[in-house]
Structure 1
Amino acid sequence: MNYETTIDADSALALEPLPTSEKRSTRRKWIIGVGAALALGLAWWLMHDSGASDAVAKPQDQVVTVIVPGKATIVGTITASGTLAARREMPVGVAGEGGQVVQVLVDAGDWVRAGQVLAVIDRSVQTQQIASQSANIAVADADARLAQANLDRALKLVEKGFISKADIDRLTATRDAAVARVRVARAGLGELGARAARLNIVAPAAGLVLTRAVEPGQVVGAGSGVLFSLARDGQLEMQARLSEADIGRLAVGNSAEVTPVGTTRVFTGQIWQLSPTIDQQSREGIARIALNYDAALRPGGFASATLRSGTITAPQLPESAIMSDDKGSFVYIVGDDKKAQRRDVKTGEVSASGIAVVQGLSGNERIVLRAGGFLNAGDRVQPVVAQPAASQPAASK
């Protein structure tokens, strides 16, 4: 049986197989679409899974820099200011009755020896007195010789019975009185000579003339005050003013470096005396620093000093590691549990190398170097150990 089937053009085209190139293009598009859908799904899952994990995970630990300082030998220093002066100043004035100055032989800045004449006072009157007394000695000496001669003659006559024993006693007494008058006259001459010698103003010891307050023609006396001021042996000193706490840290023999105002030169000296008392008004004491003579050191000038107050062995930390509050100074220490712990400390010497911790640390702790202001006791941290700065002293455990 024959059937006739009618097929239109569109149906014929639909039933007709696709070309090979079009098949490949369609497959590629399908694969790309599936891949994109899988990527979007994975991203969505990761986003939601991460959020869920954060909801149950612990907060991230703060990273902090820590340092193990060890212990170092620290030289204590104290800075002070004060004035320069003669270590032993000798004021020189009129020792005798005074008079008019006729000659001044030295000036400020001169070196003199012990007993050297500094100035001469007119002695014309004293010269005449000495001459008169010398004549009195001659008269007394002549009287003594005459009395002795009379006694000698009488002793020869007494043997013959011409002179009595009483006459001999009288002549002996006359001779003794004449000899005594000679001694009195000579003592008087010595006194006048000593008085005249005191008209010379002399140096009591060797040293450097600091000031001169007398000129030729000036009339001076016992009330004229200081005419010359000398530094014994040229020794100088700095009188450093210190607080009660600082002076208690020093000892005689400690070294010091002195820098006078107006110069960059540094002079090395030693403390030779510490004030036994404290000024009630300023609450300060004086450390006297012995210095050798130098023309750049001028008594009366101002100077600054750096004094060595001994050494201590202690941990030394940068300023950033030490904090303070109303309870005092403290640091944060990171323990084995990686938690920040507060440790109260007592600080000491402050220098360019850091701050010495004299109490509270052994030096083996891990101390938060920076960012301590953002920590609280008990916070978990991630410590990162920093190497000590090259400028810090080598730590010794």
Structure 2
Amino acid sequence: MNFERSFDRGVGGDDAVDAGPRPRRRWPWIVAALVVVIAVIAAVMIFTGKKDGAAEKSNAKQVPTVTVVVPGRQTVDRMISTTGTLAARREMPVGVQGEGGMVTAVYVEPGQWVAAGQVLATIDRAVLAQQNSQLAASVSVADANARLAQANLERAERLVKRGFISTADVDRLTATRDAEVARVRVARAQLGESRARTGRLDIRAPAAGLVLTRATEPGMVVSSGSGALFRMAKGGEMELLARLAEGDLARISVGLAATVTPVGTTTRYTGRIWQLAPIIDQQTRQGTVRIALPYNQALRPGGFAHASISSGSTEAPLLPESAVLSDPKGNYVYIVNPDNTVARRDVTTGGVTDTGIAVLSGLSGTEKVVLSAGAFLNPGDKVEPVRAKAAG
């Protein structure tokens, strides 16, 4: 018994028996749990922050950068652009005037300048030459008869004073003399007619000008029904026959300057409007404007050309061609709103010049207009605008 009690004292002592059961230590576990929770929250926050940053960067990359221009308003010439066909201002068809016949010679080529009355071609005249000789002989006969009748009359007048012949004989001889003189006139007129017909066998230029076409060769048999053998431009003057809408016709007048550029060249020729169409085509609602041009070998009748007609000046925004787009609805531009979104704006354009396109309506000049890449944008798109220098 004493041994057991001693053992109990040695293990726990008296204090252990008196204090009773001791409480468990829980605070280390609580601290560990808090550390774990804080670590999880921190990891979630870091991951979420990275994801949001990546999304923002991705969104930033998706917003395109566009170049914009604020055009303002400038004084620009109001230009009307049109196209048309080059032609001789006064075209002269030259053909056979008389009976015709076989062409014996042609003296000119297309592109050659000729003087008024110059022979372009000749037609065989062998038959008329013989007729001319015959009629010339008839004139000589009639002239001889007229001289004889005059001599007879003069002798009779001397004899009537002496009483050898009567006054009636003198009157008869006077009538004979007058008839012979008339026959002379008839014979000469017939000879002149024959010579005139012979002269018409020479095909001559009606006025000085430029030969445009040649439709005959030696050996051809031609007549008055053969049509034009040559076509000429009087004085070499040319013109552009252009078609304009009736609204544009109302804005121009005779005497306005125009610049004409033939297709295939960059050379510009200055002309002036010399005639406006007095009527409007009911189907096309267009009229013809005729622009006079001086001669130049590059202006070939039948060719196609572009014309710009100045119809005054106006104050308007001026944009580069790349900023103006078009679709079936008409011309338009894209503008950037204050919130950097894109909006479509319909515009009415004027003439195209070296400095750009004049916008007659639709813009005030203070808008931010997308300079290029408008074809890749849609209304409402978000963009990053970068300002450029205004055109002009």
Considering the TM-score relative to the shorter chain, is it more than 0.5?
yes
Q: Does 1:194 align with 2:196?
A: yes
**Pair 102,350 (structure 1): closer, same or farther in 2 beyond 3 Å:** closer
Cα offset for 1:78? 2.0
Give the 5 Å matches for 1:152-171: 152-171=154-173
Q: Which whole-Å CA distance do the structure 1 matches of 2:324 and 2:149 have between them? A: 104
Q: 2:75 is matched by which residue type in structure 1?
A: T
Q: Does 1:274 align with 2:272?
A: no
Provide the residue aligned with 1:176 in structure 2. 178
Cα offset for 1:215? 0.7
SS in 2 for 1:242: strand
Give the 5 Å matches for 1:204-283: 204-283=206-285
Q: Which whole-Å CA distance do the structure 1 matches of 2:255 and 2:273 have between them? A: 5
Q: Which whole-Å CA distance do the structure 2 matches of 1:106 and 1:310 have between them? A: 45
Q: Which whole-Å CA distance do the structure 2 matches of 1:184 and 1:240 have between them? A: 55
Point out the more displaced range, 257-266 or 117-126.
Answer: 257-266
Alignment: residue pair count = 307
Provide the residue aligned with 1:287 in structure 2. 289
**Pair 93,72 (structure 1): closer, same or farther in 2 beyond 3 Å:** same
Q: Describe the superposition over 1:283-304 as per-residue Cα deviations: whole angstroms up to 9, x where unpaired.
A: 3222222222222221111222
**Pair 154,85 (structure 1): closer, same or farther in 2 beyond 3 Å:** same
Give the 5 Å matches for 1:45-84: 69=72, 71-84=73-86
Q: Which whole-Å CA distance do the structure 1 matches of 2:249 and 2:108 have between them? A: 40
Provide the residue aligned with 2:150 in structure 1. 148
Cα offset for 1:350? 5.4
User: Given the alignment, which residue of 89, 92, 102 partners 1:90?
Assistant: 92
> 8 Å contact 2:316–2:358 — kept in the other structure?
no
Q: 1:391 is matched by which residue type in structure 2?
A: A
Provide the residue aligned with 1:299 in structure 2. 301
Provide the residue aligned with 2:101 in structure 1. 99
SS in 2 for 1:251: coil
SS in 2 for 1:159: helix
Identity %: 55
**Pair 357,86 (structure 1): closer, same or farther in 2 beyond 3 Å:** closer
* Long gaps (5+) in structure 2: 1-67, 338-344, 371-376, 381-385
Cα offset for 1:122? 0.7
SS in 2 for 1:150: helix
> 8 Å contact 2:71–2:319 — kept in the other structure?
no
> 8 Å contact 1:257–1:268 — kept in the other structure?
yes
Cα offset for 1:160? 1.4
Cα offset for 1:310? 1.9
Q: Which whole-Å CA distance do the structure 2 matches of 1:138 and 1:66 have between them? A: 95
Cα offset for 1:244? 2.1
Cα offset for 1:96? 1.2
**Pair 357,304 (structure 1): closer, same or farther in 2 beyond 3 Å:** closer
Provide the residue aligned with 2:35 in structure 1. none
Provide the residue aligned with 2:312 in structure 1. 310
Cα offset for 1:171? 0.8
Q: Which whole-Å CA distance do the structure 1 matches of 2:154 and 2:301 have between them? A: 71
> 8 Å contact 2:96–2:201 — kept in the other structure?
yes
> 8 Å contact 1:345–1:357 — kept in the other structure?
no
> 8 Å contact 2:124–2:201 — kept in the other structure?
yes
Give the 5 Å matches for 1:116-135: 116-135=118-137
Point out the more displaced range, 73-82 or 248-257.
Answer: 248-257
Q: Which whole-Å CA distance do the structure 1 matches of 2:208 and 2:202 have between them? A: 16
> 8 Å contact 1:81–1:302 — kept in the other structure?
yes
Q: Which whole-Å CA distance do the structure 2 matches of 1:269 and 1:368 have between them? A: 39
Q: Which whole-Å CA distance do the structure 2 matches of 1:183 and 1:321 have between them? A: 82
Point out the more displaced range, 268-277 or 185-194.
Answer: 268-277
SS in 2 for 1:91: strand
> 8 Å contact 1:321–1:368 — kept in the other structure?
no
Q: 2:283 is matched by which residue type in structure 1?
A: Q
Cα offset for 1:367? 5.2
Q: 1:135 is matched by which residue type in structure 2?
A: A
> 8 Å contact 1:254–1:310 — kept in the other structure?
no
**Pair 253,166 (structure 1): closer, same or farther in 2 beyond 3 Å:** same
Cα offset for 1:150? 1.0
> 8 Å contact 2:318–2:357 — kept in the other structure?
yes
Cα offset for 1:356? 3.6
Q: Which whole-Å CA distance do the structure 1 matches of 2:319 and 2:148 have between them? A: 100
Q: 1:153 is matched by which residue type in structure 2?
A: R
> 8 Å contact 1:331–1:367 — kept in the other structure?
no
Q: 1:290 is matched by which residue type in structure 2?
A: A
Cα offset for 1:125? 0.9
Cα offset for 1:359? 9.3
**Pair 313,170 (structure 1): closer, same or farther in 2 beyond 3 Å:** same
SS in 2 for 1:185: helix
Q: 2:219 is matched by which residue type in structure 1?
A: G
SS in 1 for 2:162: coil
Cα offset for 1:190? 1.0
Give the 5 Å matches for 1:356-371: 356-357=359-360
Q: Which whole-Å CA distance do the structure 2 matches of 1:130 and 1:204 have between them? A: 25
Point out the more displaced range, 311-320 or 269-278.
Answer: 311-320
Q: Does 1:136 align with 2:141?
A: no
